[in-house]
Amino acid sequence: MSHITVTAPASGEIISEVPIFTTDQVTDAFDRSRRAQKKWAASPVSERREILLRYHDLVLERQDELLDVIQKESGKSRISAHEEILDNAITARHYANRAAALLRPKRAKATLPVLTTTHVEHAPIGAVGMISPWNYPLVLAISDAIAAIMAGNTVVLKPDSNTPLTALKAAELLTEAGLPDDVFQVTPGPGSQVGQAIAEQCDFLMFTGSTATGRKLAAIAGERLIGFSAELGGKNPLIVAPDADIARAARGAIRACFSNSGQLCISIERIYVHRDVADQFTREFVDNVKAMRVGPGNDWALDMGSLISAEHHETVSEFVEDAKAQGARVLTGGESLGGNFYAPTVLTDVPPTARVYREEVFGPVVYIQVVDSLDEAVEQANDTDYGLNASIWATPSTGRALASRIEAGTVNVNDGYMAAWASMHAPMGGWKTSGVGRRHSDHGLLKFTEARTVAVQRFMPPTGPEWMDRKQFAGLAAGAFKVAKRILP
């Protein structure tokens, strides 16, 4: 097999044949990447900033073109694809404008003030390897790359084989924005071949995908002792408190559960609703789900598109059939809509033995469970091996108090996921088996750097004046330390 056949999931039509990289070609890509990185790292941050800001503009100016490519190869609705445009623009703006401050050497407090002056520098790591999934082919291929590139690294990216065209299109736009050759390279191919070769050759590995693959790649990174960051799966809970605006919660839960047909790592698959408001919430939520518009095409009015493939459609269907066979009730959906389209589905009375109860479906399937107290809701929400995202619908004060008890990287109060995702100054990532490291925030760029501490010593060594008797110095140091313990950090 030397080509990936890219198929439109919504229609089954073959869109393109994309050449697969051989292992030797990946090695060649890393050779070129390392050569390009030396020059790129030497370029002023202000120059990199201008390129990324031009990319920001191009993404917005050419959004229709990009939206068409994203939608065609992923099957998602226009509105879900548009989230990707916004994300790339926000990320490019954020890191373009933030990088200079982050990369500037910073003074660090020294243990011996006056005698020692310490600075921390951040140097790029080198050629960063990235492996991305199919569900957000623009966001997950490009946004972390933007941070790595602004920090002075080069990137070799393997996009998922379902969706290589978006990454290739974005690479064209980066070149058009002025990014020099080989700073960002796209090497399509299967995970077992190209993904593996990237993991074995890169200087830092950034992975987004399933927890199962994340574990395998973490083992390689561990063996090689390279930096590793992973954004993995989730089984995200949503809590509806009795003081919530129920109509708003029932509307907001639609996007929280069914954006991108639920094929979103941070989308909601479990709802815990307080008994006092359970009937009203369930009725209004299910009515809203029934009103959703599902179908193919680029009409902005459509709420949901298709699933990524026939195989994934089968997986989603199996989850629902298993739950039904074990006594779960289908409140709406629970069936295929033909082709790769699956109805947005709400279940209830799901027994803990059903696979959907704990496992990530990664599809348009959510279940509702009624709880008698908010303590029970928190306990249920945290009863998972995952810890990626959570959503709480409540008054802001109740929401904030509950949020602090949730074991997840992001908690959105009166929103599903977007509020935290778009908070670029704050970290985004998973607790427990949902990930290692964070994207967004200062850390999202600094993780692609090595820290170098430079300490300049003046007047005498840190171990005291050379003329001083060693025992005398030990006594002096003990006295000075006691005085300093409540003054110096």
The residues annotated as belonging to the active site are 231, 265
- State yes or no: residue 99 binds ligand NAD (CB under 6 A): no
- State yes or no: residue 416 binds ligand NAD (CB under 6 A): no
d(CA 23, CA 46): 35
- State yes or no: residue 427 binds ligand NAD (CB under 6 A): no
- State yes or no: residue 138 binds ligand NAD (CB under 6 A): no
Exposed/middle/buried for residue 208 (C-beta within 10 Å: 0-12, 13-18, 19+): buried
CB of 419 to ligand NAD, least distance (A): 16
Neighbours of 428 (CB within 10 A): 24
Q: Which is nearer to ligand NAD, 155 or 370 (CB)?
A: 155
- State yes or no: residue 1 binds ligand NAD (CB under 6 A): no
One-letter amino acid for residue 447 of the chain: K
CB of 139 to ligand NAD, least distance (A): 8
- State yes or no: residue 200 binds ligand NAD (CB under 6 A): no
Name which position in 25, 27, 117, 210 contacts ligand NAD (CB under 6 A). 210
Pairing relationship of beta strands 410-413 and 389-393 according to DSSP bridges: parallel
Name which position in 80, 185, 213, 306 contacts ligand NAD (CB under 6 A). 213
d(CA 450, CA 126): 10
Q: With the C-alpha atoms ordered 217, 83, 48, 157, is the resulting torsion angle positive or negative? A: positive
Q: Which is nearer to ligand NAD, 219 or 476 (CB)?
A: 219
Contact indicator for 255, 79 with CB cutoff of 8 Å: no
CB of 235 to ligand NAD, least distance (A): 9
- State yes or no: residue 192 binds ligand NAD (CB under 6 A): yes
For residue 486, give Cα distances in angstroms to 208, 480, 482, 483. Answer: 44, 11, 8, 7
- State yes or no: residue 216 binds ligand NAD (CB under 6 A): yes
Residue 224 main-chain phi, psi, to 5 deg: -85, -10
Q: With the C-alpha atoms ordered 168, 172, 174, 179, is the resulting torsion angle positive or negative? A: positive
CB of 33 to ligand NAD, least distance (A): 18
**Among candidate residues 455, 334, 444, the one with its CA nearest the CA of residue 99:** 444
DSSP state of 283: H
Name which position in 191, 295, 427, 464 contacts ligand NAD (CB under 6 A). 191
H/E element, 285: helix 275-290
Name which position in 54, 72, 122, 158 contacts ligand NAD (CB under 6 A). 158
Choices 12-20, 86-94, 211-219, 394-402 (CB under 6 A): range interacting with ligand NAD: 211-219
List interacting residues with ligand NAD (CB under 6 A). 131-135, 140, 158, 160-161, 191-192, 195-196, 199, 208-210, 213, 216-217, 231-234, 265, 360, 362, 388, 430, 435
